[in-house]
């Protein structure tokens, strides 16, 4: 879905300008996004298998929930909205913890330029995975993996992309602190 998003500068400061998501990805404009990592008390991490129709990283295992922040939308509200839309899980704002903001710059082989500031959150998954509802345009499958999956240096079954290993280790460390 092509949505209107805010444009930020190279330091993550809002510029007051907006554009369509497709334009930001075409021209490489920086924009804010959210990442929500959901974990269980049993030290498992929920990963989503991206829909095979996605423009970037189709069919790969990825963050529990990720998405774009609509123009003018509060970051935390966007995170709560994306979790509800993508997997049908309702989180209370007080159960969503921001652990940082990550500058991300990558140009994909198909020409998509992802210059983003990821607002990264963690939260406990308190519903059984069978009760979650997938947004078919975004997610092909959900699965719980051992939390240690985030720290593995050799990814098995193409679970996570090795180039983002430092980021996954940071998320792992932050989740461990919450126990």
- pLDDT higher than 90, residue 120: yes
Angstrom distance (rounded) from CA 36 to CA 9 = 23
| Residue 161 pLDDT level (bands cut at 50, 70, 90) | confident
Among 57, 42, 164, CA closest to 108? 57
Question: Chain-centre distance of CA 151, in angstroms?
Answer: 17
Angstrom distance (rounded) from CA 160 to CA 153 = 10
CB of 150 within 8 A of CB of 160?
A: yes
**3-state SS record for the chain:** CCCEEEEECCCCCEEEEEEEHHHHHHHCCCEEEEEEEEECCCCEEEEEEECCCCCCCCCCEECCEEEECECCCCHHHHHHHHHHHHHCCCCCHHHCEEEEEEEEEEECCCCCEEEEEEEEEEEECCCCHHHCCCCCCCEEEEEEEEHHHHCCCCCCCCCCCHHHHHHHHHHHHHHHHCC
**pLDDT at residue 165, as a whole number:** 87
Angstrom distance (rounded) from CA 44 to CA 88 = 19
**pLDDT at residue 151, as a whole number:** 87
Taking only the tens place, the pLDDT of each residue in 73-93 is 999 999 999 999 999 999 999
Q: What is the mean pLDDT of the chain?
A: 94
Burial of 82 (0-12, 13-18, 19+ CB in 10 A): buried
Taking only the tens place, the pLDDT of each residue in 16-57 is 999 999 999 999 999 999 999 999 999 999 999 999 999 888
- pLDDT higher than 80, residue 113: yes
* Average confidence (pLDDT) over 54-67: 92
* Average confidence (pLDDT) over 4-27: 98
Angstrom distance (rounded) from CA 48 to CA 45 = 10
**What fold, for 4-177?**
Nucleoside Triphosphate Pyrophosphohydrolase (3.90.79)
**pLDDT at residue 154, as a whole number:** 59
* Average confidence (pLDDT) over 54-63: 90
- pLDDT higher than 50, residue 158: no
Q: Which range among 40-44, 91-95, 127-131, 154-158 shows the weakest confidence by mean pLDDT?
A: 154-158
Q: Where are the domains of the chain?
A: 4-177
**pLDDT at residue 88, as a whole number:** 98
- pLDDT higher than 60, residue 156: no
């Amino acid at each position: 879905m092509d949505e209107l998003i805010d444009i930020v500068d190279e330091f993550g400061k809002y510029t007051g300008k907006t554009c369509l998501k497709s334009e930001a990805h075409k021209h490489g404009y920086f924009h804010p996004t959210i990442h929500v990592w959901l974990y269980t008390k049993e030290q498992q991490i929920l990963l989503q298998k991206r829909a095979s129709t996605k423009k970037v990283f189709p069919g790969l295992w990825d963050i529990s929930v990720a998405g774009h922040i609509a123009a003018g939308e509060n970051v935390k509200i966007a995170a709560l909205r994306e979790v509800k839309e993508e997997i049908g899980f309702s989180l209370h704002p007080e159960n969503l913890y921001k652990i940082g903001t990550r500058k991300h710059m990558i140009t994909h082989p198909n020409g998509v330029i992802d210059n983003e500031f990821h607002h990264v959150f963690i939260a406990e998954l308190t519903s059984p995975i069978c009760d979650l509802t997938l947004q078919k345009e975004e997610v092909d499958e959900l699965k719980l993996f051992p939390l240690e999956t985030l720290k593995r240096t050799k990814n098995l079954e193409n679970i996570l992309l090795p180039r983002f290993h430092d980021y996954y280790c940071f998320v792992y460390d932050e989740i461990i602190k919450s126990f």
